[in-house]
Amino acid sequence: RGKKAFIAGVADDNGYGWAIAKSLAAAGAQILVGTWVPALNIFENSLRRGKFDDSRVLPDGSLMEIVKIYPLDAVYDNPEDAPEDVKSNKRYAGSSNWTVQEVAESVKQDFGSIDILVHSLANGPEVSKPLLETSRKGYLAALSASSYSYVSLLKHFLPIMNPGKLLKNQPLCFFSFCRSGGSSISLTYIASEKIIPGYGGGMSSAKAALESDTRVLAFEAGRKKRIRVNTISAGPLRSRAAKAIGFIDTMIEYSLTNAPLQKELSADEVGNAAAFLASPLASAITGAVIYVDNGLNAMGVGV
């Protein structure tokens, strides 16, 4: 009965995607996830073996249910796009229908429609290289995995997203998200607009593109189906992806020292902001970059 959310980019219980899934589940949504093909087996096995049970606990004591996990590689839009060596790679050959178009078709077949689309994925093979040392291939790969992947997901899911509804004199009902229409959220990082040395490989450019696209897509999806499109500029979190970049502890320390709120950011805080943005409480918010970073973005100098 609740709203249906498809969250792309969940492969463990440490990242923002997992936390967003939990907040949406706590608010009554049904959770579908898209998991990167190479990470699928280990994620499904860990989930089955109960490795994530502690982190599945919702505020009411029940466990978050993931209704279905779809293999996904958001770098490929349809089967013709995927090169033979990827298709025949043993990590991919065991799964099928993992291109964006096929995943959207599978979700349509299984569930008919969705209400909430979340993009919580990024990849930049040369992220540890300064921009001046980044190859064209590395730069374009960062944009493909981290920015165009969102355009593609929204493009393919939009036809099955329930249109936004006009809310007139409705009682606010946050917990089941009743009566509000579809909306979409992605995750970005302040390196798009301010210099963050260490966030290289074109990843800063990819986030700038994602934020600009958020505005244009808000217009297009808003006019087409009254769907809202927002992005959360999140503070640093020790996720798997962030640990791979190599400077996450420094960033967390920097934030603790300099942000208006001196506390470590928890993934749940980003999850809750996402639930708010997906709810009717945010019915007039679209095309926005919302900071969930303990206020660090507002500082002009370090203290």
Please report, as ranges, the residues that interact with ligand NAI according to CB under 6 A: 9-11, 14-17, 36, 39, 72-75, 120-123, 145, 187-189, 234, 236-237, 239-242
Shortest spacing between CB 145 and ligand NAI, in angstroms: 5
Residue 231: which H helix or E strand, with range?
strand 228-234
Minimum CB separation of residue 34 from ligand NAI in Å reads 6
What are 14's two structure tokens?
């440490």
Cα–Cα distance list, 140 to 36, 172, 301 (Å): 19, 43, 32
Residue nearest to ligand NAI (CB): 15
Q: Which is nearer to ligand NAI, 68 or 225 (CB)?
A: 68
Parallel, antiparallel, or unpaired: how do β-strands 228-234 and 66-72 relate? unpaired
Q: How far is the CB of 140 from ligand NAI (least distance, A)?
A: 13
Alpha-carbon separation of residue 256 from 231, 259, 262, 299 (angstroms): 23, 6, 5, 13
* Measured CA angle at 278 (ends 177, 181), to 5 deg: 60
C-alpha closest to that of 242 among 1, 11, 15 = 15
Task: Give min distance, CB of 241 to ligand NAI, in A.
Answer: 3
Residue 16 or residue 177: which is nearer to ligand NAI going by CB? Answer: 16
Three-state secondary-structure class, residue 234: strand
Please, which residues bridge with residue 290 across strands? 232
Q: Retrieve residue 42's tokens.
A: 């280990």
- The smaller minimum CB distance to ligand NAI, of residues 40 and 164, is found at 40
104 versus 162: smaller Cβ distance to ligand NAI: 104
Of 151, 127, 153, the C-alpha closest to 138 is: 127
Which residues are part of the catalytic machinery? 189, 199
Centroid of chain to Cα 280: 20
CB of residue 250 vs ligand NAI: minimum separation in angstroms?
11
Q: Among residues 26 and 100, whose Cβ is nearest to ligand NAI?
A: 100
